[in-house]
Structure 1
Amino acid sequence: MTRALALQLAMGIVLAMLLAILVLLPRLRRAERLQARIAASRGVVEVRRPESAPLPQRIARRIGQAVMASGIVKGETLAELQRTVVAAGFRGQRAVAVFIGAKVLLMVALPFVMLPLSAGMGPMGRNLLVAGGAVAGLVLPDMALRRMREAHARQVERGLADALDLMVICAEAGLPLEAAVDRVASEMAEANRAVAAEFANVGTELRILSDRRQALQNMGERTGLESLRRLGGTLAQTLQYGTPLSQALRTLAGELRHETLMRFEARAARLPALLTLPTIAFILPCIFFIVGGPAVLRVLDIAARP
C-alpha cells in the first residue's frame, strides 16, 4: 500500500509539473514574439538559426525558461546562478535555463530510476532511496557546474601569461586597447579557448559600456581569479593616468610567469612527502624480502635438520 501511495504521489508531482510547463510555455512564446516586434520596430533584423542543440538540452532549456518565468527562482538566487554559470565559461540566459531545467529533470527522473532498484527493500528503505534520488538530482548539476568552473579557471590561468605577451606585442605595434584585446582573442582561439572567450567578452564590453574601466574590472569579477583582477586594475590605471600600456603589461606578464614558476616549485617540493607512503608500501617489503629471505630460509633449514 505504501509503494502504491508513493507511486501515485510521484505521478501527481510529474503531472503537476507538466501542467505548469504547458501553462507557462504560451507566455514564453508571447514574450518572444513581443521582443521580436520591438526589435523589428527598432530596425533590428533578427536572424533565426535552426535548432542545432541536442534534444535533451532543448527540453531542459524549455523547462528552465518555464521555471524562471513562473517566479519560483528569486532574483538574488537567479543572479547568483548567472554569476556561477558565467564563471564556468557559459554566456547568456540560455545557459542558466538549461542548468535549472537539468536540475528539475534529474530531480524527477532519478526517483523513477531508483524505484526498480528498491524491489527487495522495505517501505522505509524504498522511500529513503527515492528521496535520495531526488536529492541527488538536485545536487549533481551543482557539483558538475562547480567542476566545470574550476576547470575553466585553471585553463584561463594557464594561458593568461601567453595572452599578456601577445598584448605586449600588439601594444608595441601601436594598436589601441580595444584592437589589442580583439586581436588576442582571435589569436588565442586555437591555443586556449577559455582565454579567448574571456578576452572576446572584454572586447565586447569595451565597445558597449560607457565606462571602459568598469568593463576591465568585470574581467576579474566573472571568473574570480586574482590574476584577472590585477590585469583589469592595471589596464584601468593605464586608461586613467595615461601610463605606457606595453610597460605595464610586460611587468604584469613577468609577475605572472614568476608566480607560475613558484607554483611549479611548490608542487615539486611536495613530491618527497607524497612518495613516502608508496615507498613504504611497495618498495620496502621487497627490500626486506630480498635481504632477509636467504637468512630465513637458512634458519628454517637448520631447524628442520634432526
Structure 2
Amino acid sequence: MWEWFQSLFPALNSGGNILLMIGVGIGTMLFVFGAFDAVRPANPAARRYNKHGLGHRMTAFDAGLLHNPEIDPKGMWKALMPSDKRERSSLRRNLTNAGFVGEGAILKFFLWRIGLAIGLPMVVVLLLFLRQSGVWLPGPVLWFVDSTPRLVMFQLLTLLAGIGFFLPSIWLSRKVKERRREIEESFPNALDLIQISVEAGMGLDAAMTRVGNEMVHSSPAISQEFRMVQLEISAGGERESALMAMAQRTGVDEVASFSNVILQSIRFGTSISDALQIYAHEMRVNRELKAQEKANKLPVKMSAVMSALMLPAMILLIVGPVVIRWMNTFGDL
C-alpha cells in the first residue's frame, strides 16, 4: 500500500523529514502573520475611541468601521487574494452582509479557504504516514487505508481539496441568508422602539443608540448595525452616508426604505416621529400581507406531499379488495 503511495507522492520517500518540513513551513507562516499584525500601525480613530474610554464597548463588529480603505494586495498577499478589484468588492460585500467587516476580513477568508483546501487532504496523508509507521489506528481506519485502491485514493484527495476550497463560500452564503432573515424578523420591533423613543422626546441618534443597546441579546445584528451608524456619525461621518452604508451592509429592503424615509424627513424638514409612525404602519401591513401570502401558499405546497403520501394508501384500499376477490375467484381455474 505504501509503495504505490510513495510512487504517487515521491516527496514522501524521505520519511519523517517531510513532516519536519511541513511543521517548519506552518511555523514560518504563523510567525510572519503574527509579526505583520504586531508591526501594523493602529488606526488613529480607534486610538481616539480608546482614549475617551469607549474602547471597552466596541465589539469586533464595531471596530470594523474603523478600517482603512481597501487597497490592492501587495507582496505575498497577491498569491492569496484575487487581483480583480471587482471580485474583492463582491466578496467584501458578502462578508459585510454576513457581519464580518474590517481590513483583514478578505484575507482571513482566503486563508481559511486555502488552509482547508490543504488541510483536509493532509489528514488522509497523515493517516497513510501513521499506518506506514506502525502507529495504532482504529479498525475502520486501517480497513480504509489498506483496502482503498490507488486511483480512488487520488480521487479522494482531489475531492477533499475541492470541498475545502468551496466550503467557506457555501458557509458564507448561508451566513448571509441567516443574518438577513434575522434582520427582517427583528427590524419591525426595532422600528417601533425607535418611534416610541422619538415620541418620548429623544433625538434620532439617541433613540438608535438606546434601541441598539437594548437589543443586544434579542437581535445582535440590529444592535450592531445601529451602533455602527452611531460610531460612524461620532467619528465625523455624515448621517446620510452612514444610513446608506447600513442599508448596503444589511442588504434588506426594509432597512433601505427606513434610511430613505429618515433622510427625506431630514431633508424636507418634516417630523421624524410622523414619518416613522407612517412607515411603521406600512411595515406592519406589509408584514401581515407576507404572512397571508405564505398561508395561502401552504395548500399548494401541501397538495404534492399529501398526494404522494395518501394516494398510494387510497389506491391500495380501493384496489386491494378487488385484487383479492379476483385471486379467490380465478385462482382455482
Shorter-chain TM range is 0.7 to 0.9
Aligned to 2:245: 218
Which amino acid in the other structure matches residue 89 of structure 1? G
Once the two structures are overlaid, the 10-residue window that deviates more, 285-294 or 161-170, is 285-294
Aligned mates of 1:265, 1:47 — CA distance in 2: 45
Aligned mates of 1:273, 1:42 — CA distance in 2: 55
Residues 45 and 235, structure 2, Cα contact 8 Å, conserved in 1:
no
Q: Report the Cα offset of residue 251 of structure 1.
A: 1.9
Q: Are 1:71 and 2:80 an aligned pair? A: no
Q: Tell me, which stretches of 5 or more residues in structure 2 are unaligned?
A: 1-5, 61-72, 128-143
Aligned mates of 1:206, 1:183 — CA distance in 2: 15
Q: Report the Cα offset of residue 166 of structure 1.
A: 1.0
Residues 49 and 55, structure 2, Cα contact 8 Å, conserved in 1:
no
Which amino acid in the other structure matches residue 330 of structure 2? A
Which amino acid in the other structure matches residue 206 of structure 2? A
Aligned mates of 2:46, 2:201 — CA distance in 1: 38
Matched residues, number: 288
Over the matched positions of the two proteins, sequence identity in percent amounts to 25
Q: Report the Cα offset of residue 238 of structure 1.
A: 1.7
Which amino acid in the other structure matches residue 71 of structure 1? W
Q: Are 1:279 and 2:306 an aligned pair? A: yes
Change (3 A) 1:94 1:43: closer
2:323 corresponds, among 277, 296, 300, to 296
Aligned to 2:37: 28
1:88 corresponds, among 87, 95, 98, to 98
Residues 83 and 222, structure 1, Cα contact 8 Å, conserved in 2:
yes
Give the match's secondary structure for 1:102: helix
Aligned to 1:61: none
Aligned mates of 2:308, 2:187 — CA distance in 1: 40
Once the two structures are overlaid, the 10-residue window that deviates more, 142-151 or 9-18, is 9-18
TM-score between the two structures when normalised by the length of structure 2 = 0.73
Q: Report the Cα offset of residue 146 of structure 1.
A: 1.1
Aligned to 1:163: 190
Q: Report the Cα offset of residue 239 of structure 1.
A: 1.8
Q: Tell me, which stretches of 5 or more residues in structure 1 are unaligned?
A: 54-66
Q: Report the Cα offset of residue 43 of structure 1.
A: 9.2
Change (3 A) 1:69 1:181: farther
Give the 4+ runs in structure 1 shifted more than 6 A.
8-14, 36-43, 45-49
Once the two structures are overlaid, the 10-residue window that deviates more, 1-10 or 162-171, is 1-10
Which amino acid in the other structure matches residue 29 of structure 1? A
Residues 160 and 195, structure 1, Cα contact 8 Å, conserved in 2:
yes
Change (3 A) 1:7 1:156: farther
Q: Report the Cα offset of residue 290 of structure 1.
A: 2.4
Give the match's secondary structure for 2:270: coil
TM-score between the two structures when normalised by the length of structure 1 = 0.78
Give the match's secondary structure for 1:270: helix
Higher relative contact order (CA 8 A, sep 6+): 2
Give the match's secondary structure for 2:100: coil
1:4 corresponds, among 1, 6, 9, to 9
Change (3 A) 1:37 1:218: closer
1:113 corresponds, among 116, 123, 126, to 123
Change (3 A) 1:298 1:81: closer
- CA RMSD between the two structures: 3.6
